[in-house]
Amino acid sequence: MSTPLKVMTGKQMQDSRVLLEQLLQVARMSALEEMASGIAHELNQPIGAITTFAQAGQRMLERPQPMVGEAAEVMRHISNEALNAGEGIRRIRSLFHGHHAERTDCNLADVVAELMPVLELLAVRSGATLQFSSQRALPSVAIDRLRIQHVLFALVQNALEAPTRNGETPQVRIDVSSDRYNVRVTVEDSGLGIPDEAREQLFRPFFTTKTHGTGLGLASSRAVAESHEGSLDVENVAGGGTRFCLRLPASAKAEEADA
């Protein structure tokens, strides 16, 4: 089925603005969460090395013929501070990972449909065409609805911003389909595709192909997908364009119904 663009009523505009603000809040929290994870990844290795070298220096200075006792004390301070820094990073990460919203069984097509007015606003702003289609019968998925909508928002926003050949009108297509075990949402653009070397790093924190990008949107989106026991992958489309695929496992209730 295909959903054409519609003129929104005043209430729909208001509801879309409220949803947009909620999505932006989720986006900020997800970006901060992934930033903390990236900082931890970048700093834990050198902090561990500092600790190892400091402890080794301490042992050398505490041999039967030590060098300078004061230097050993400094080394102990270095070791303690490095360990404290590592503990501080772990505390920061635990703050951001404290978001455990209740998951509910949802029809993913309905989740996308609720988001469509916001996505249509983005499409109009970008001068793009946006299409949405869905398989009629879908198993339910147990999700944090707003976080999954944040992922879809980020994917469509990226698709709308993809450069096209000779300034052609951007075209973005959203499709929802399923099999017995998974529900899939694909977001496909009509852009130039992604070079192989960039595609391999696309989900790394802080990596971006955009001039003013943060490199956190896709990283946080994959983290959200994986926190739902799902996945987020990307591939180039034959003839041009990029396709992102979000896969989420069908809920246990849906699998039992099919059994």
Tens of pLDDT, residue by residue over 15-39, are 776 787 677 667 767 766 776 776 7
**Would you state the pLDDT for residue 2?**
53
| Mean pLDDT calculated for residue range 64-80 | 72
| Mean pLDDT calculated for residue range 132-153 | 92
Given a cut of 80, whether residue 108 has pLDDT beyond it is: yes
Report the amino acid identity of residue 153.
F
Q: Which of 37, 69, 96 is the last residue of a domain?
A: 96
4 occurs within a structural domain: no
Q: Which of 33, 65, 96 is the last residue of a domain?
A: 96
Least confident of 79-88, 101-110, 136-145, 174-183: 79-88
* Rounded Cα distance, 140 and 178, in Å: 10
**Would you state the pLDDT for residue 47?**
80
**Would you state the pLDDT for residue 204?**
73
Confidence of residue 91 (pLDDT cuts 50, 70, 90): low
* Rounded Cα distance, 199 and 74, in Å: 46
Q: In this structure, are residues 164 and 121 in contact, taking their beta carbons and an 8 Å threshold?
A: no
pTM of the model: 0.64
Given a cut of 60, whether residue 210 has pLDDT beyond it is: no
Structural domain count of the chain: 2
**156: its two tokens:** 């469509």
* Rounded Cα distance, 20 and 118, in Å: 7
**82: its two tokens:** 């490095």
> Which of 212 and 122 is assigned the larger pLDDT?
122
Q: What is the overall mean pLDDT for the chain?
A: 79
The residue length of the chain stands at 259
Could you tell me if 87 and 112 lie in one domain?
Answer: no
* Rounded Cα distance, 236 and 73, in Å: 57
**183: its two tokens:** 């529900």
> Where in the sequence is the domain holding 211, given as residue range(s)?
104-258
| 101 φψ region: left (φ > 0), alpha (ψ -120 to 50), beta (else) | beta
